[in-house]
Amino acid sequence: MKGLIVCQLYDHVLHVIFPVSNGTTWSKRHSQFLSDQRKPEKNYLNPELCKDVLRASSRYEGENQFVGFNMPSYILRKEDTILFPLLKRYHFKYIIAYMEGDQSTIEHEMRHARYYIDKSYRKKVKRSWSKIRKSSPSKYKKIVNTLTQKSYDPKVFIDEFQAYYPELIENV
């Protein structure tokens, strides 16, 4: 059965929510989500929206196998036939996309949106990053290694650091 991708707008952030089948484990839902994206015509009632998210995300983040996506709205182009008209109508600043019910991904992607939208928060994060880098080189190296292993480009390390902060601090 095809699922309907839902869009909701909260505080200048467009949420694109992908449906998943109920009754499966989280790991199966994640692999289903990644598989569904490869054949949007087969899996979604609105495949063009899925294609827009993947196209815009690859322009911003590169090709990835993540279960959540985030990007500033300036990345959208006219070829994004669903998202671009939504931007023109609603003037959102950021887009996040995730699987319905995946709370940890929602929180992670929302931290990206906050980092982009909230200038004072972004300054605090950059100060924290700098402080860790200077005062705890071994912790800083572990964080950088973790982000490198996750295949992130160094130019987004600070943003990913704050998005992964709860689990990074727990594990370094």
Q: Give per-residue pLDDT as tens, 112-124.
A: 999 999 999 999 9
In this structure, how many other beta carbons lie within 10 angstroms of the beta carbon of residue 15?
Answer: 19
Q: For 53-88, how does the pLDDT look when each residue is reduced to its tens digit (9 = 90+)?
A: 988 988 887 776 677 899 999 999 999 999 999 999
Q: For 27-52, how does the pLDDT look when each residue is reduced to its tens digit (9 = 90+)?
A: 565 566 666 667 777 767 788 888 89
Indicate the pTM of the whole model: 0.85
* pLDDT at site 30: 59
Distances (CA, A) of 157 to 29, 90, 153, 154, 163: 27, 30, 7, 5, 10
Residue corresponding to tokens 């998202």: 83
Q: How confident is the model at residue 19 (pLDDT cuts 50, 70, 90)?
A: confident
State the distance between the two ends of the chain, measured CA to CA, in whole angstroms. Answer: 43
Q: Domain spans of the chain?
A: 6-114, 119-171
Question: If we measure between CA atoms, which residue out of 75, 72, 100, 81 comes closest to residue 14?
Answer: 72
List, edge to edge, every strand of the sheet that includes 6-10.
Answer: 6-10, 13-18, 94-99, 68-72
Task: For residue 50, give the amino acid letter.
Answer: C
